[in-house]
Structure 1
Amino acid sequence: MSKVTTSFKYVDYLWDDAKAAALAGDEIALFIYRSNILGADLRITNYGGGNTSVKLNLPDPLTKEETEIMYVKGSGGDIGTLTKGGCAGLYVDKLRALKNVYRGIEHEDEMVGLFNHCIYDLDSKAPSIDTPLHALLPYKHIDHLHPDAAIAIAASKDGEAIMKEIYGDDFAWIPWQKPGFDLSLQLEEAITKNPNMKGLYLGGHGLFTWGDTSYECYINSLESIEKASAYLEANYGKKGPVFGGQKVESLAADARQAQASAIAPILRGLCSSNQRMVGHFSDDDRVLEFANSNDLERLAQLGTSCPDHFLRTKICPLVLELPKDADVSDAATIVEKIKGQWEAYRAYYNKYYEDCKRDNSPAIRDNNPVVIIWPGVGMFSFAKNKQTARVANEFYINAINVMKGAEAVSEYVALPLQEAFDIEYWLLEEAKLQRMPKEQSLSRKVALISGSGGGIGLEIAKKFVENGACVVITDIDEERVKEAHQSFKRDTATWAVMDVTSIESIKVAFKKAALEFGGVDIIVNNAGIATSKSLEATTEKDWDLLYDILVKGTFAASQAGVEIIRAQNLGGGDLGGDIVNIVSKNAIVAGPNNLGYGSAKAAQAHMTRLLAAELGGDKIRVNTVNPDAVIKGSNIWAGGWAEGRAKAYGITVEELPAFYAKRTLLNAILEGEDMAKAALTFVDGSLSKSTGNILNVDGGVAAAFVR
């Protein structure tokens, strides 16, 4: 290969010779490496889209004879994160022998079950519907990708002619057809007619390329996408302004973020009328170019072309009819203004289902929009979790890129509704959905936890994420909260600096929750401080600081969170919410040198009862967890409280853990995880009919018994 092939403008060349050399001799490892670097560039293929394969000779476990085996990405995987465990390893001769039993396109779906009879590697992932598209082609290494540039051509009215103009006879055109065995036969026939081709275009769908080695296949894929991208770039503007030119001017970035954070909970509520959803927002330049254009309405209503796109975004988005600078501060007024658009969209989707359903179609799924475009502001997406919402957003950006390219060189052509429906409600797709793991107890929920840069708060955040929640971890110490955030996986957590003595700081944190996840469902008031001083030693400053953090902080964070929960509840869903106050056994027990802290904690505990009484009608549960002496990771203990308590009890600081354990009925040393489990129990549905309650997690301190 000439070194000039490593220089690309429109795709990233990521092949590392040293890494590849370390994998030399292991064709499967090289194939996975190629897959991962292809999937790392979203211009090459979207998340979860496309598939890659390698064919090699391996010994048959029974005959010990060398046998041709194909490893291919399994069902539901992503090439960017592919591992061997995500692949299916199959006998090539058995896959090709399926031609002998194929009964025709009317019996397409039965072929997928037969793939299991071709498995070589017993640890294989379930083979995908695209398996025969790789097996029937004679090439050792194959990439099936969904690059925006190629799909733009594949989804063009004049796509085949444009393909010929770009590639000459090096590529063949296969008209749109749902993936399956019949499509694989068409690919095989095209190759038989012209064995010297470099690739295939699938109408409305994507690109097939290949090579004798993993590297040659990689370069062929990059060169093919580069040519398509360059062709589109050369044609932008020739037919006129992109997307018919600008109709709406974007708000300034800060104003977009402000509008988006204010309306996100309202949109989330409307999109959660059937089941709770989690949100994502983007005001990417590509989004705004499309959202603000004259062609927005026309193109948005056409729907998407690539099956991967509309499986995640629905057939079309909802374009929000609301001025970009509308006053969105009054949620009830905004809901009244825009709820009719949701009713119209649901009616449209219901009709789409009824008009297109087959006798054996799965039941209708959620009829709310996934993607919402607000001209001048940006694009929202809502799905079952943050990752799915973010990926839906990215997929619609892919669709925007496709429409932009297709309109620049020809005319964009979406899939007919019936074809789209047959993909969306494909029985094989339904079977894939049914195989997905059961959702966790906090799936679809968002929690904001004050004081969660460490200690109890961080343990609560981790426990919530373990059970499916998205969390906003907050702390007054920026470095501490940023470091804590690094322990969470992408799409599970975000962070904010939040000073609970500042109402403005609290509002900023909740705005971030709305921007990142669409809103909030659980507020955990955990931020705390402690002093251990006698009456005469307690200063006015000590007193004010305790009450500002513990009492005012709980009030202000609850007030800000409830505003968002109420906005969400206006959308027609039965969402409700939870507030959990992390208080202390000192709210009940009268101990020495504890006037300021103990009375503030008592106020915090009684606030739980008052909030529970007030918010029951909103289905917002409010409960208290009363810890005692959680020393590990606590800023409170590091800040002088330990010394004060040790002095009060006439012992050393080192003796405190054992001292506290011995005074409990269970002789227990308490951990942050114990408090996290208690908080989880209040919010995971276990105590869904409990509000205004106190749960002591103190190892058993008789003086702290509530009754």
Structure 2
Amino acid sequence: MSHTTIAELIARSNRLGSDPKNTNYAGGNTSAKGAGIDPATGGPVDLMWVKGSGGDLGTLTEQGLAVLRLDRLRGLTEVYPGLDREDEMVAALDYTLHGRGGAAPSIDTAMHGLVEAAHVDHLHPDSGIALATAADGPELTRKIFGDRVIWVPWRRPGFQLGLDIAEIRKSNPQAIGVILGGHGITAWGETSDEAEAHSLEIIESAQRFIEENGRPAPFGPALPGYAPLPVDQRRAKAAALAPFLRGLVSTDRPQVGHFTDAESVLEFLAATQHPRLAALGTSCPDHFLRTKVKPLVLDLPAAASLTECRARLTELHESYREDYRAYYERHATADSPAMRGADPAIVLIPGVGMFSYGKDKQTARVAGEFYLNAINVMRGAESISRYAPIDEAEKFRIEYWALEEAKLARMPAPKPLATRIALVTGAASGIGKAIAQRLAAEGACVVIADLDGEEAAAVAAEIGTADIAIGVSADVTDEAQVQAAVDACVLAFGGIDIVVNNAGLSLSKSLLETTAADWDLQHNVMARGSFLMSKAAAKALIDQRLGGDIIYISSKNSVFAGPNNIAYSATKADQAHQVRLLAAELGEHGIKVNGINPDGVVRGSGIFAGGWGAQRAAVYGVEESGLGRYYAQRTLLKREVLPEHVANAAFALCSADFTHTTGLHVPVDAGVAAAFLR
């Protein structure tokens, strides 16, 4: 029976969790009770399977379930020490686990185990939370559902809430579920299908009531001057503001960002009531744990200049930090965790959209999605009543809950480049691809920029999801395309920290064979391209005020004079001196500029595969297939240089071990004495 029960639970969870109208990402939990076998005695035992802490219903698998013995779980009611000590029950749950227990039980486990129903769903639907945060939520619940759904006043998730719901279920056998004040919904059934049907009935009935009875313009009339800018204008303004904003919200610690100009955000910000509603903050614990208690809202019209926006955002950010510190001090007790940081997680810009922030791209994106949920909740509550979230004292109890602090402490240590954002040119193959892969493996978000946009997208997909890497098409000789690549980077990830000038090509010709067009092409791609990318990136880096790294993939040929290589080597020398010039100029902004001088990298190289390899092999009188071995034998170490060796140097230069190094050229050539720096 247990296999069927688990399969039904997983299928139900995935169906409910994959539809955003039912619950937010990683929000809510589902459970099923059934018979199992005691691994010690071989006898039957009643079990409960419930989504574990931190999992997501839409992608839940069996590995994400906590498995508990029902008799032991319900036996905890006999030792429950009362509301003042209910947090102790979380540790007690570990002693109710069956076998190895599966995933860690969540704070909502008691709600599922104590309710006398075989299947229980706890969800955070926008329509349900709109009802749960309506000022007259109890009356509306009775009006919509009669006695089929019961109102439960706000209570922090935990053992006592599980007892409360269990008593409601016992006293109201006709009920199919409850509305949890300020929070969400819980529904149940004797079969998996029945529980799912009851959950959907509550969600859809609440939504239908809002649609049929809600007043128009729930956010109030339009606010003059706050209408959305045209798409191109608002995205250009967002890209121009993104680095500056990231610098502000990284005052306490570096953050990664996400931008959205979703219609619901723009509609909210264009209405007169958005300042009042935003100040009230979010209500559902899942929301404000990710969005903080309230956002920072720019109080300027859409047409405000960038200068005006930056000046006002600076003022508002300082006010936000002071307000957050005051909020912490109002509610903190002697045993409260230390304040985690006073920067906002959500920044709203009228006419433009929403920026959200977190320790990585996924966290930032999800924070934005949660605030979209909050906007939907406010719309629903204001349509049928008045939005009335839980008070800030309760929010503080959740945000600085010892259990939440313990959960944060269990998170794995960040990777070396966590929170850093890199843009690598010519990254669809060879050295650039290897560098992008290495930086991503070390925790960075990466933009793969390449002349071949399809290949760039393919490499990004190899590396990971769009939360880790994206691909963009960029001709580095075109100033507009270079700026567009930087804009894409700051809109995708909030800013930029590392730029790798790697895009290049090679023409192996003698002086007399080299045409002016050859010379111009070689210099346009590498000398001009590196200059344009460094200039566009430096503007963002300076605006961001977080320092950063610019790395040039130069060549041993920047200092080594070889035959039939005039255009290529001269261009590499140009790049090498750009490193020195920019290191001298950008140091005052904390921006390090360094170069890497590889020997010929044959394997995996798009340049060598495109004809350069055959040309250089002809110069040296060897077979093209043996060119890598030829290069290796002329080095001091007799080792062939591969793309990953250059990637190692790139990582080292932007790692914590090289914080005081700028203007350096690192040879990655296995030892070419003629190319020694002097």
**TM-score greater than 0.5 by the shorter chain:** yes
Report what 2:602 is aligned to. 631
In the TM superposition, residue 98 of structure 1 has moved relative to its aligned partner by: 0.5
Q: Is the contact between residue 85 and residue 123 of structure 1 (CA under 8 Å) also seen in structure 2?
A: no
* Contact 1:538-1:596 at 8 Å conserved across structures: yes
- Structure 1 stretches lacking a partner, 5+ long: 1-22, 570-574
**Alpha carbons of 1:460 and 1:123: their partners in 2 closer, same or farther (altered >3 Å)?**
farther
Is the counterpart of residue 495 in structure 1 residue 471 in structure 2? yes
| Candidates 622, 625, 630, aligned match of 1:659 | 630
Which runs of 5 or more residues in structure 2 are unaligned?
none
Compared CA separation, residues 482 and 24, structure 1 to 2 (3 A): farther
> What is residue 132 of structure 1 aligned with on the other side?
110
Q: Distance in 1 between matches of 2:655 and 2:187?
A: 48
| 1:614 counterpart residue number | 585
2:222 counterpart of 1:246? yes
Counterpart check, 1:461 vs 2:439: no
Aligned equivalent of 2:620, options 637, 649, 655:
649
Question: In the alignment, is the contact (CA less than 8 A) between 1:458 and 1:484 conserved in 2?
Answer: yes
Tell me which of 327, 337, 343 is aligned to 1:362.
Answer: 337
The one-character-per-residue Cα deviations of 1:296-322 (angstroms, maximum 9, x if unpaired) are: 011111111111111110111111023
Q: Which region of structure 1 is more displaced relative to structure 2, 344-353 or 246-255?
A: 246-255
Matched, 1:695 2:670: no
Aligned position for 2:166? 188
1:446-595 correspondence runs (5 A): 446-487=421-462, 488-569=464-545, 575-595=546-566
- String of CA shifts for 1:460-489, please: whole Å, max 9, x gaps: 111111111111111111222122222122
Matched, 1:344 2:315: no
Q: Deviations over 1:257-292 (max 9, x none)?
A: 111111111111111111111111111111111111
Structure 1 CA distance, aligned partners of 2:5 and 2:630?
Answer: 62
Distance of aligned partners of 1:396 and 1:221 in 2 relative to their CA distance in 1, 3 Å threshold = same
- 1:74-113 equivalences under 5 Å are 74-113=52-91
| Equivalent residue letter for 1:373 | L
Matched, 1:66 2:37: no
Could you tell me which residue of structure 1 aligns to residue 353 of structure 2?
378
* Amino acid across the alignment from 1:532: S
Q: Which residue is equivalent to 1:11?
A: none
- Provide the C-alpha distance between the structure 2 equivalents of 1:38 and 1:667, rounded to a whole number of angstroms: 60
Change in Cα spacing, 1:666 to 1:27, as seen in structure 2 (3 Å) is farther
Query: Structure 1: how far apart are the matches of 2:590 and 2:83?
Result: 52
What residue identity is the alignment partner of 2:602?
I
Q: State whether residues 259 and 325 of structure 1, in contact with CA within 8 Å, keep that contact through their aligned partners in structure 2.
A: no
Q: Answer yes or no: is 1:291 the counterpart of 2:269.
A: yes
Find the residue that maps to 1:173 and give its secondary structure: strand
Kept after mapping to 2: 8 A contact 1:24/1:30: no
Q: Distance in 2 between matches of 1:459 and 1:221?
A: 48
Check the 8 A contact 1:625/1:695 in 2, yes or no. yes
CA contact (8 A) 2:227 2:302 kept: no
Q: In structure 1, what is the Cα distance between the partners aligned to 2:192 and 2:611?
A: 62
Write out per-residue CA displacement over residues 416-439 of structure 1, whole angstroms, 9 at most, x where no aligned residue. 110010000000001101111111
Q: Is the 8 A contact 1:304 1:315 kept in 2?
A: yes
Deviations 1:307-346 (Å, cap 9, x if unpaired)? Answer: 1111110111111023312232x5xx75334311111111
User: How far apart in 1 are the matches of 2:61 and 2:543?
Assistant: 43
Q: Does 1:673 align with 2:649?
A: no
User: What SS does the aligned partner of 1:479 have?
Assistant: helix
Write the letter of the residue equivalent to 1:648.
V
Q: CA deviation at 1:26?
A: 3.0
The 1-side partners of 2:52 and 2:64 are apart by 6
In 1, distance between residues paired with 2:611 and 2:423?
A: 27
Question: Match of 1:12?
Answer: none
- Which residue in the other structure is 1:178 paired with? 156
* Conserved? CA contact 2:506–2:607, under 8 Å: yes
Residue aligning to 1:39: 17
**Residue aligning to 1:144:** 122
Two-structure CA RMSD over aligned residues (Å): 1.5
Counterpart code for 1:65: G
CA distance in 2, matches of 1:139, 1:660: 73
Deviations 1:198-226 (A, max 9, x none): 11111111111122332332232222211
For residues 211-360 of structure 1, the aligned pairs below 5 Å read: 211-237=189-215, 240-247=216-223, 248-328=226-306, 334-360=309-335
Once the two structures are superposed, residues 220-271 of structure 1 have per-residue CA deviations (whole angstroms, 9 ceiling, x without a partner) of: 222221111111111232xx42211221321111111111111111111111
Hey, what's the Cα distance between the residues in 1 that align with 2:621 and 2:138?
87
Q: Which residue is 1:19 aligned to?
A: none
- What is the distance in 2 between the residues matched to 1:192 and 1:667? 79
The aligned amino acid for 2:458 is E
> CA–CA distance in 1 between the matches of 2:11 and 2:667?
52
Instruction: Tell me if structure 2 keeps the 8 A contact 1:261–1:515.
Output: yes
Check the 8 A contact 1:151/1:306 in 2, yes or no: yes
In structure 1, which of residues 581, 600, 609 is the aligned counterpart of residue 571 of structure 2?
Answer: 600
1:199-210 aligned within 5 A: 199-210=177-188
What SS does the aligned partner of 1:533 have?
Answer: coil
Query: In the alignment, is the contact (CA less than 8 A) between 1:67 and 1:91 conserved in 2?
Result: yes
SS in 2 for 1:592: coil
| TM-score (structure 1 length as normaliser) | 0.93
Give the TM-score normalised by the residue count of structure 2.
0.97
What is the Cα deviation at residue 195 of structure 1?
2.2
Q: Secondary structure of the equivalent of 1:143? A: strand
Contact 1:278 1:382 survives alignment (8 Å): yes
Give the partner amino acid of 2:476: V
Question: How far apart are the structure 2 equivalents of 1:166 and 1:24?
Answer: 36
The DSSP-based 3-state class of the residue aligned with 1:490 is coil
2:2, 2:35 within 8 Å by CA — same for their partners in 1?
no
Residue identity in the other structure for 1:504: A
Q: For 1:675-700, what per-residue CA distance to the aligned partner results, in whole angstroms no more than 9, with x for missing partners?
A: 11110011121211111111111222
2:411 aligns with 436
Selected match of 1:409 from 361, 365, 384: 384
AA at the equivalent of 1:447 = A
Inter-CA distance 594–123: structure 2 relative to 1 (3 Å threshold): farther
Post-superposition shift, 1:601?
Answer: 0.6
Mapped to 2, the partners of 1:24 and 1:432 lie a distance apart of: 30
Q: Deviations over 1:39-70 (max 9, x none)?
A: 11121111111011111211101111110111
Give, in whole Å, the separation in 1 of the partners of 2:101 and 2:586: 52
The question of 1:55 aligning with 2:33 is answered yes
Question: Aligned-pair distance for 1:25?
Answer: 4.9
SS, match of residue 676 in structure 1: helix
Report the Cα offset of residue 196 of structure 1.
3.0
- State whether structure 2 residue 653 is matched by structure 1 residue 682: yes
Q: Kindly state the Cα deviation for residue 565 of structure 1 after the two structures are TM-superposed.
A: 0.6
Deviation for aligned residue 1:441: 1.0
Cα distance change of structure 1 residues 188 and 334 upon mapping to structure 2, 3 Å threshold:
closer
